[in-house]
Amino acid sequence: MTACGALNATSSVLWRWTSRASDVPARARVTLRCALDQLGFDEEVIDDAVLAVSEFVTNAITHAVGPYEMRLRRTAAGIVCEVEDHDPRIPETPVAPVMAPYAPVEENRGGGLEALCALLSEHERGLHIVHELTKGSWGFRGCKGTKTAWFAVGGGTSMAGAESHDALRFLSL
């Protein structure tokens, strides 16, 4: 991938794939969930990050060319996750609604992750959900023929910074 694609040198590549890979969103979710679990993040942070990365990965494989890359970076406040593709065009970002975009419908409750992923696949809904999950801390940037979608989520961990950085380095090998 490009040198300018990562936010800084401490980003770790979690997974690279091409357009020939199968079950990409599911594999990205599992990869990120395992990384964040090994780093000691709380389940709520993991769930939010997994749903956000599912949207970004689905958008990348649907609207852009590969190869693709998913990266993770620790920050003082939590993590930044990035999904890079090889379409430099930055998508138009839908305006986030003032109120929560989706009121729960009782008969649609209980569908689990697959039902939520189906909801995310409906056009222009997923980025609103990412906006809610990340409290508006997400976006896109382009550099030399690539585009990177990124989001940040906070949250406590049970590990100290140096230990979790070592664990992340181990995961990226």
Q: What is the mean pLDDT of the chain?
A: 78
Tokens found for residue 152: 């940040």
Helix (H) or strand (E) holding 38: helix 24-38
Using one digit for the tens of pLDDT, what is the confidence trace for 33-58?
Answer: 999 999 999 999 999 999 999 999 99
Q: What is the pLDDT of residue 129?
A: 87
pTM value surpassing 0.85? no
Instruction: List all residues 6 or more positions away from 112 whose beta carbon is below 8 Å from its beta carbon.
Output: none
Q: Do 150 and 60 meet the contact criterion of CB atoms below 8 Å apart?
A: no
CB atoms within 10 A of CB 125: 15
Using one digit for the tens of pLDDT, what is the confidence trace for 98-120?
Answer: 555 555 556 656 666 666 655 55
Strand-pairing partners, residue 83, are: 70, 149
Spatial distance between the Cα atoms of 117 and 11, rounded to a whole number of angstroms: 26
172 closest CA partner among 32, 3, 29: 32
Q: What is the pLDDT of residue 123?
A: 54
Q: What is the pLDDT of residue 61?
A: 94
Burial zone of 106 (CB within 10 Å; 0-12 exposed, 13-18 middle, 19+ buried): exposed
Ranges of the chain whose pLDDT falls below 50: 1-9, 157-173
Distances in whole angstroms, Cα of residue 157 to Cα of each of 70, 77, 80, 154: 21, 10, 14, 10
